[in-house]
Structure 1
Amino acid sequence: MGGMSAACMLAKDGYKVTVLEAAHVPGGCSSSYKRKGYVFESGATTLIGFDENQPLRTLEDELGINLSKKEINPSMTVHLDGDQIIRYKNRQAWIDEAARAFPEIPRSNQKAFWDEAFHVADTVWKVSKKNVYFPPKRATDWLQLAINNNPADAPVLRYAFQSMASIMKKYEVDSPNFRRFVDEQLMITAQAKAEDTPFIFGAAGITYTCYSNYYVPGGLLNMVRELEEKLLKSGGALKTRRKVVKLSEHDRGGYVAETENGEAYYAPKVVSNIPIWNMKEISTGELGLYYGKESERYDEAWGAFTMGVVTGDAYDPHLTLHHQLHLPAGEHMPETEAGSVFVSMSARGDTSRAPEGERTLNISCHTPARKWFEMGDAYEPTKERVQAFILDFLRKNFPGFEESGVKLAFPATPVTWQNWVYRKDGRVGGIPQSMSRSLVDWTQTEAPFPGLYQCGDTSYPGQGIPGVTLGGINVYYRIKKNDS
């Protein structure tokens, strides 16, 4: 989505844009794939970002389009120790639900905590939209920050230096169960837990269900296809099965991208939408040295153990489409270190993804990535053991799963992810949040080489469809500014 967002906006303004896509369809981790007649999401399954000040609303407005989607409300249920906690969109309803689910915390404390989280999240979205040259690279960028921003929003900056855990303690909501809840919600959105996540990012991460959440009938690929159509109508080109294996600087300026099938493309400007770890492998000369250093700075990231599952449809008609199911306190999924499982379902009646009376489920949990490449002969038995554990766990804990019956199930590990979407070591979800990284200490959208730009989940502002879309929008504005 980051690369397609930048490509569409540049093509709209008359730039001659060619997108080189390694896979047979665009979208990367924001796409869909078919297997045995069913459609599954290839990575991300939740979709927000269309509300005021949010990136996908900006993208629609800039391109003059309305991406196909249906709002889902409520969007998620969290299953914790036998309780079903509904993540209502309505903020007051959610505070009431949080007070019910965690009775050990006074309701007044819950309200104060969530009101502050909503305020910070709203401010972050508003400020992010205005500051398209963030993180600042030049003196003029710092000046633009001073001009663009309302001094009344400045107090929110203090939360860049305070963890989610510290704010929970401040508002006296840090009970063991509520900490478990927040930790696992943050693992979805920040790839880190409360102790490691700055509140300025964590606030948006734990409140995303209180913004408009959407479902794309037929799968997220349909949304990406609409962007592809816009790109082509604007004179751009999309070439699939063009995996770039080498990027080098041209003697007369600009860059040459060489593909796996022997093609070479020259361009005065290049926008990379692949992870910095992949850029290290394909870049030559000074480019390779730069991305090597960036990769060393951010060497830790999660992989995912995922499953595509087809079941019947004996589920309650009021069941939400997204679910996070906690393991008992202190327990983890075997081989993964995960404390929860995330399940996303196709909508009932979406026959473009599954026949009537059946549902497709995307199931995922975090796992260390590199260990799966080092298992040798133990790889297949380990994969089967984790799959069996997850299916058994869902039969016991996910309402309607056992009654619906499993018709098809197949697992995927970081090894699979590296093969599918070509991400180094199968690392997905971007770089985990960290209290040791400052607000401006991110891989820049503009590399220190003329005409080279970076978007995607390993550069600012990070993971998630809204995050990478914002990164693509910011690249567009960087290019326009530099060309002017």
Structure 2
Amino acid sequence: MKLYDILVIGSGMGGSMIASLNKNRDLLVLEKEQNLGGCASTFKRYGSYFNAGATTFVGYEKNHIVKDIFDKAEAALDLRESKIAIRVLQNGKTIDRVKDFEQFLEKIDKAYPNKNNRIFWEKIKELDEKFWQLQKLYYAKYSFYSYLKTLNSFLELFIKFRTYSFKSAKSFIKEVLGEISKEYQNFIDSQLLITLQTTSKDLSILSMAIGLSYPFHKVFYVNEGMGELFKELLKDVEVRKKEEVLKILKEKNYFRVITSKSEYKSLNVVLNSTIYDCARFFEDKKIKEYYKKFTFSDQSAFVLNFNLNSKEEFLHHYQIILEKNIPNTVSNSFFISLSDKEDKKMSKKALSVTISTHTKALFWEDLSFDEYKTKKEETQNFIIDSFLKHFKSVKKEDIINLSSATSKTFKRYINRNNCGGSPVTLKNIFQIPSCRTPFKGLYNIGDTVFAGQGWPGVALGVKVLNEEINE
């Protein structure tokens, strides 16, 4: 039996990026599904293509870790820059999140007049720019050099950001903006839920700045669907699709990986499954205990996919913020991604639309069959009705091929029922899982380990893992 150098389990963002950086090593990627990309994949249904989740591609710009990784993969990407990253619709107000700061400030001043808006948003943008200039950003455990690099990283963070790295975001908002309206607070928190899976009450100023600033970077639409990104990353990598990993056995000097089709040996294993799902692969008691110590993050998503027959001109992304929470969710907003009308694959028959909002994973797991069906339909209908109220030219009959997904759907197709790990907060910064484990040759990557979700967050984790696995 062949002995691989690295075996990557899962072709999500983290798995695909680390595989691309190590394509010259003896490496294999195993993917349970036909589609690459996990919760960021593109799939076909009713004869049309849909994206599984939100479609903002951020960080593909000079001197950014995301672009560095894609450049090393020699990826030929077909992208369209979204001049308006997101159009936010809230109680009759329209706020365009654009890269140009002055244009954005004009919109925010009109929607939420405040004498200190410029001071607040300039500081947010400044902190974000400084963060992405850091040279020593690192977080890993379980080896002397890992701890040393992590310590140096924290020292650099403290020296550069001082109190901004641990002072609460909530207090900063009050200090600079004063007592703002509930509507303005909802605007800020709804943006943070997209990027960080939490609100300002649990974050440091620095974390809030990073979460609020991504529209100040270039945001791209991926032609032919998000799945194209993974095809490019893995074009020079050996990948075996529709092959599910069933068991991983730790031998003396290697790991034995048993799948639904075969068996493999590898010196190193990189798990791109969530940190909460890893214990099930192992029989080794110590490894099982290691993974079981992490508290499950109950964040998940409710997603709608449909085709839209419309001649109206749409942007690529919208966010609709409502006054009250959507039924059976933990959010009062939903995010809309639409295919570009010039995209010959995604918009071949009609526009491809993905709508997502935040919900709890375990809420859907505990329902009876009839309760599940009723509540799923209730949430779906509420979102569709809200969508139609905000886009007056669209009629209900223009929406075809409608389907929706909950945490149970994700578990069935991509083997995970949550979306993202525990948000990085002031309370848990030192409890965040590391890409390195205490077991030689065993690693994790993805949105449930450092540095979190989204392309920039996962890419930072990949950068650290690449150093760890090649030390």
TM-score (norm 1): 0.89
Q: CA deviation at 1:53?
A: 3.5
Q: Is 1:289 paired with 2:289?
A: yes
Match of 1:239 in 2: 240
Which residue, 226, 246, 253 being the options, matches 1:220? 226
1:130-141 to structure 2, matched below 5 A, reads 130-131=135-136, 133-135=138-140, 137-141=142-146
The aligned counterpart of 1:405 is 398
Q: Deviations over 1:99-118 (max 9, x none)?
A: 11101x11xx1111111111
Equivalence for 1:86: 96
Q: Which amino acid aligns with 1:307?
A: L
User: Residue 308 of structure 1 corresponds to which residue in structure 2?
Assistant: 305
- Quote the residue 1:249 is aligned against: 250
Instruction: Determine the structure 2 residue equivalent to 1:36.
Output: 46
Q: Is the 8 A contact 2:54 2:336 kept in 1?
A: no
Q: Which runs of 5+ in 1 are unaligned?
A: 232-236
Match of 1:430 in 2: 421
Residue 8 of structure 2 aligns with which residue? none
What are the ranges of 5 or more consecutive residues in structure 2 without an aligned counterpart? Answer: 1-12
Give 1:142 shift.
Answer: 5.4
- 2:120 matches 1:113: yes
Q: How is 1:41-440 mapped onto 2 (pairs within 5 angstroms)?
A: 41-103=51-113, 105-106=114-115, 109-127=116-134, 130-131=135-136, 133-135=138-140, 137-141=142-146, 143-144=148-149, 154-172=159-177, 174-175=179-180, 176-231=182-237, 237-250=238-251, 252-259=252-259, 261-285=260-284, 286-294=286-294, 296=295, 299-315=296-312, 317=313, 319-328=314-323, 331-355=324-348, 358-376=350-368, 377-402=370-395, 405-423=398-416, 426-438=417-429, 440=430
Cα offset, 1:152, TM superposition = 9.3
In the TM superposition, residue 64 of structure 1 has moved relative to its aligned partner by 3.5
Contact persistence 1:313–1:404 (CA under 8 A): no
How far apart in 2 are the matches of 1:421 and 1:379? 20
Q: Do residues 479 (structure 1) and 462 (structure 2) align?
A: no
State the alpha-carbon separation in 2 of the partners of residues 202 and 116 from structure 1: 11
More helix by share: 1
Does the CA contact (< 8 Å) of 2:274 and 2:446 recur in 1?
yes
Root mean square deviation, CA, Å: 2.1
The alpha-carbon distance between structure 1 residues 15 and 337, as it changes in their structure 2 partners (threshold 3 A), is same
Decide whether the 8 Å contact of 2:30 with 2:243 is kept in 1. Answer: yes
Cα distance in 2, alignment partners of residues 148 and 390 from structure 1? 43
Give the CA deviation at 1:187.
0.5
Structure 2 CA distance for aligned equivalents of residues 123 and 441 of structure 1: 25
Among the aligned pairs, what percent are the same residue?
27
Comparing 396-405 with 340-349, greater Cα deviation is found at 396-405
413-422 or 279-288: bigger deviation: 279-288
Measured against aligned partners, the alpha-carbon deviations of 1:160-194 in whole angstroms (never above 9, x if no partner) come to: 32222121112125512221101111000010011
- Residue among 452, 457, 467 paired with 1:462: 452
Mapped to 1, the partners of 2:258 and 2:162 lie a distance apart of: 43
Report the equivalent of 1:234: none
Q: Cα gap change, 1:341/1:44 in structure 2, threshold over 3 Å: closer, same or farther?
A: closer
Residues in 1 aligned to 2:404 and 2:233: alpha-carbon distance in whole angstroms: 30
Structure 2 counterpart SS, 1:40 = strand
Q: Deviations over 1:252-298 (max 9, x none)?
A: 22211221x1522111101111101110222222111100112x3xx
Q: Distance in 2 between matches of 1:10 and 1:152?
A: 29
AA aligned to 1:311 is L
- 8 A Cα contact 2:53 2:356, kept in partner: no
Task: Flag the 1:280–1:136 CA change in 2: closer, same or farther, 3 A.
Answer: closer
Question: 1: CA distance between counterparts of 2:106 and 2:158?
Answer: 28
Separation (CA, whole Å) in 2 of partners of 1:430 and 1:46: 19
- The answer as to whether partners of 1:135 and 1:442 remain within 8 angstroms in 2 is no
Tell whether the 8 Å contact from 2:18 to 2:466 is kept in structure 1 after alignment: yes
Cα deviation, residue 460, structure 1: 0.3
Counterpart CA distance in 1 for 2:191 and 2:215 is: 10
Residues 86, 97 of structure 2: 8 Å contact kept = yes
Aligned partners of 1:36 and 1:397: how far apart in 2?
26
Residue 145 of structure 1, CA deviation = 6.1
Letter in structure 2 aligned against 1:349: E
Q: Which of 13, 18, 21 matches 1:9?
A: 21
* CA shift in 2, pair 1:464/1:157, >3 Å: farther
Q: In the comparison of the two structures, how many residue pairs are matched?
A: 456
Contact 2:88 2:97 in 1 (8 A): yes
* Counterpart contact for 2:301–2:359, Cα < 8 Å: yes
Separation in structure 1 between the aligned mates of residue 392 and residue 158 of structure 2, nearest angstrom: 43
Please tell me whether the aligned partners of residues 73 and 233 of structure 2 are also in contact (alpha carbons under 8 angstroms). no
Does structure 2 retain, via aligned residues, the 8 Å contact 1:30–1:465?
Answer: no
2: CA distance, partners of 1:156 / 1:216:
34
Distance in 2 between the 1:192 and 1:90 partners?
Answer: 26
Amino acid at match of 2:410: W
Corresponding letter in the other structure for 2:446 = G
Measure how far apart 1:432 and its partner are: 2.4
8 Å Cα contact 1:306-1:413 kept in structure 2 = yes
Give yes or no for contact 2:73–2:232 (8 Å, CA) kept in 1. Answer: no
User: In structure 2, what is the Cα distance between the partners aligned to 1:278 and 1:146?
Assistant: 29
Give, in angstroms, the shift of residue 404 of structure 1. 7.8
213-222 or 145-154, which deviates more: 145-154
Distance 1:83 1:314, change over 3 A: farther
What TM-score do the two structures reach when normalised by structure 2?
0.91
The alignment status of 1:443 with 2:433, answered yes or no, reads yes
Deviation of 1:205 after TM superposition, in Å, equals: 0.9
